[in-house]
Amino acid sequence: MFGSFEKLKKSLSKTRDNLMGKIAQVVGKRKIDDDLIDEIEEILIQADVGVKATMRLIENLREAARANKTTDADEVMALLKAEISAILTRQDDGALPGNGNGLTVWLITGVNGVGKTTTIGKLATRFAREGRKVIIAAGDTFRAAAIDQIAIWADRSGVDIIRSQEGADPASVAFDAASAATARNADILLVDTAGRLHTKSNLMEELKKIKRVVVKAAPNARVLSKLIIDGNTGQNAISQVATFTEAVGCDGLIITKLDGTAKGGVVIAVAEELGVPVEYIGIGEQIDDLEKFDPKAFAEALFD
Ligand SMILES: Nc1nc2c(ncn2[C@@H]2O[C@H](COP(=O)(O)OP(=O)(O)O)[C@@H](O)[C@H]2O)c(=O)[nH]1
Ligand SMILES: [Mg+2]
């Protein structure tokens, strides 16, 4: 536990500097007045915490300052930490797939380059280690390299893969994979998808079709859509969630690349503004660089 918290802290260091580091700097030994609170507001907005969550945090800070409850820097930091922790904790915990209750299918969606394929590799490894039978569907048939990339991940994680040729119909790969997963009594099917721009309606049509055929091939399975968001995306994350939700729903979020970004405040924005839980976070390119999202640990790591 300690080790993984240290890793989380290290991953979030840029976000921490950009957010709590800057706030700690302006608070310093100053009096808590309106000017100071305005400066804190600006830092929160610039760190991608989002307007809604920022408003909530600032309002509470003003309230506490007015009531003379918050009079020094330590108290300001303590209040922000408690409030951020509360925002992150309000969301539901995502249910774990496949506890011997039949097949669960995760349709892994998201725009190009966010980390879908890599995340599938990490998830497959994690679920397989937990003793679940995992199958991967190579549903991004757009480029041969994409099929090779997911095949390498399947190999690394030691799970089966259902694949076809470059240019094959992604829905037919998904159909075959869902049939195979049912026949082989798999617990979890992870479906990789292409992520060309979400503004192109043909991608959304393709995702809808994939979902339809999976439901058809595996009528008793729980079919869930998990959206991958790149932690560098900023406030655009909110519109990505809306677009994908409209097409295939969105049962959970995975936010990647939090290790390299100063914009990790977006996790707070997403938790405040969307009714969708953050379930996992990506904190590196390696197989073990995926953590179950722990709201308390996340808030803690932003402040320490
Ligand atoms: N630093 C970092 N890089 C990541 C993470 N997740 C994925 N990547 C990298 O992001 C790039 C795109 O990943 P890929 O899985 O191909 O994205 P896809 O297009 O959505 O399938 C690759 O270079 C990955 O190694 C992460 O959590 N941290
Ligand atoms: Mg991919």
105 pLDDT above the threshold of 70: yes
What is the model's pTM? 0.93
Share of the chain above pLDDT 90, in %: 83
CA distances from 6 to 91, 245, 267, 291, 297 (A): 24, 34, 19, 12, 10
Q: Whose CA is nearest to atom 13 of ligand 1?
A: 115
Percent of the residues in the chain that have a pLDDT greater than 70, as a whole number: 94
Which domains are present in the chain?
Answer: 2-89 (1.20.120.140), 104-256 (3.40.50.300)
Q: What is the model's pLDDT at position 43? A: 97
Q: Whose CA is nearest to atom 19 of ligand 1?
A: 113
Dist. CA 100 → ligand 2 center (Å): 29
- Please give the number of the atom of ligand 1 that sits closest to the Cα of 228: 20
| pLDDT confidence bin for 98, thresholds 50/70/90 | very low
Q: Which atom of ligand 1 is nearest to the CA of 281?
A: 27
What DSSP string runs through the chain? -HHHHHHHHHHTHHHHIIIIIHHHHHHTT----HHHHHHHHHHHHHTT--HHHHHHHHHHHHHHHHTT---SHHHHHHHHHHHHHHHHHTSPPPPPS-SSSS-EEEEEE-STTSSHHHHHHHHHHHHHHTT--EEEE----S-HHHHHHHHHHHHHHT-EEE---TT--HHHHHHHHHHHHHHTT-SEEEE------TTSHHHHHHHHHHHHHHHHH-TTSEEEEEEEEETT-TTHHHHHHHHHHHHH--SEEEEE-TTT-S-TTHHHHHHHH-SS-EEEEE-SSSTT-EEE--HHHHHHHHH-
Average confidence score pLDDT of the chain: 92
For residue 179, the model assigns a pLDDT of: 98
The pLDDT of residue 35 is above 70: yes
User: Could you identify the atom of ligand 1 that is nearest to the CA of residue 110?
Assistant: 20
Confidence at 29, pLDDT banded by 50, 70, 90: confident
Q: Which pLDDT value is given to residue 32?
A: 87
Q: What is the pLDDT of residues 60-76, one digit of tens each?
A: 999 998 888 777 888 89
pLDDT score at 93 = 53
Average pLDDT over residues 106-123: 97
Q: What is the Å distance from ligand 2's center to 192 Cα?
A: 7
36-64 per-position pLDDT tens digit: 999 999 999 999 999 999 999 999 999 99
pLDDT of residue 1: 46
Arithmetic mean of pLDDT, 118-130: 97
Residue whose CA is at the smallest distance from ligand 1 atom 10: 115
Candidate from 285, 286, 289 with most ligand 1 atoms within 8 A of CB, to mutate = 285
Distance 151 CA to ligand 2 centre (A): 11
pLDDT band at 30 (very low <50, low <70, confident <90, very high): confident
Distances in Å between the alpha carbon of 249 and those of 110, 195, 206, 243, 276?
12, 16, 14, 9, 10
Between these two residues, 90 and 18, which has the higher pLDDT value?
18
Residue 99, pLDDT > 90, answer no
Q: How many Å lie between the centroid of ligand 1 and the Cα of residue 112?
A: 10
Q: How remote is the CA of residue 256 from the centroid of ligand 1, in Å?
A: 7
Rounded to whole angstroms, how far apart are CA atoms 70 and 13? Answer: 26
Kindly report, residue by residue over 238-261, the tens digit of the pLDDT. Answer: 999 999 999 999 999 999 999 999
Q: Measured from the CA of 140, which atom of ligand 1 is nearest?
A: 21
246 alpha carbon – ligand 1 mean position (Å): 24
- pLDDT at residue number 275: 84
Residues with CB under 6 A from ligand 1: 110, 112-118, 195, 256-257, 259-260, 282-285, 289
Average pLDDT over residues 131-152: 96
Residue 120 Cα: closest atom of ligand 1:
15
- How far, in Å, from the CA of 173 to the mean position of ligand 1? 23
Choose the weakest-confidence range: 89-93, 259-263, 294-298: 89-93
pLDDT tens string 163-215: 999 999 999 999 999 999 999 999 999 999 998 755 556 899 999 999 999 99
